[in-house]
Amino acid sequence: MSVLPIVTYDDEVLRKEAEPVEENTPEIQQLIDDMFDTMYNADGVGLAAPQIGRLHRIFVADADPMTEEEQGSKYGPLVLINPEITFESEEETKMDEGCLSIPGVNASVTRPEKIVVNYLDRDFNEQELEVDGWLARVIQHETDHLDGILFLDHLSLFKRKLLSSKLKEIDEGRAEIGYPTVLKKQEANK
């Protein structure tokens, strides 16, 4: 198991749609283990494969640290392969979001309060999960990553403009980041 570097928001891999995972292989199982190591090392609650430069429709999540605050259900670590959100409630909620690919940047994002997601678990068994609260938000955020969408895309142009100085710090390598990353500029200089 390994901690892998996380790509930052300006990397084109985060703007591409991830490919479905067709079969359970030792490489996929290793990727899952590495993704959990990477997520926990960065104190994250979710991590999608594109965030480590892999275009597979898979993400890991563990929203339990967040649900302690709201006395929510405990689901533990989850692996969602080829997730598909099949229901979104009309009721929406606004919550602060951040992203391991956009370190130090947080903003309020409005999303459906409750969702239903169908997916394959780590053993490639079909699952259906109905959730609300933090886990629903994490699943929506990470599913967006699989579709090439960042939480910044849910913000107004004005709000993105307000965040531009923080984004520039990331671009220039001046942001303090407590975990391994691959900045686009670093990649270009190789």
Domain-embedded: residue 187: no
Residue-wise pLDDT for 47-78, tens only, equals 999 999 999 999 999 987 766 555 556 788 99
Residue 188: pLDDT band (50, 70, 90) is very low
Distance CA 22, CA 162 (A): 41
Do the beta carbons of residue 75 and residue 64 sit within 8 Å?
yes
Number of domains into which the chain is organized: 1
> How many angstroms from the chain centroid is the CA of residue 16?
14
Tokens of 65: 């640290």
What is the residue whose two structure tokens read 């229901």?
A: 87
Q: Is residue 131 part of a domain?
A: yes
DSSP-assigned beta bridge partners for residue 58? 81
Give the domain CATH number at 158: 3.90.45.10
Q: What is the largest CA-CA distance in the chain?
A: 47
**pLDDT of 124-180, one tens digit each?**
999 999 999 889 999 999 999 999 999 999 999 999 999 999 999 998 888 889 999
Position 181 in a domain: no
Is the model's pLDDT at 39 over the cut of 70? yes
Q: Residue 27 catalytic?
A: no
Q: Please indicate whether residue 176 or residue 117 has the higher confidence score (pLDDT).
A: 117
In a domain? residue 136: yes
Give domain status of residue 132, yes or no: yes
State how far Cα 65 lies from the chain centre. 16
**Would you say residue 60 lies in a domain?**
yes
Catalytic residue among 19, 92, 142, 172: 142
Asked if residue 189 belongs to a domain, the reply is no
Output DSSP code: residue 56: B
Q: What's the alpha-carbon Rg for the chain, to the nearest Å?
A: 16
Question: 50: domain range?
Answer: 6-174
Query: Which residues have C-beta within 8 Å of that of residue 96, sequence separation ≥ 6?
Result: 106, 107, 108, 109
What pLDDT score was predicted for residue 72? 56
Whether residue 186 lies inside any domain: the answer is no
Indicate the pLDDT class of residue 93, thresholds 50, 70 and 90: very high
Average pLDDT, the chain: 91
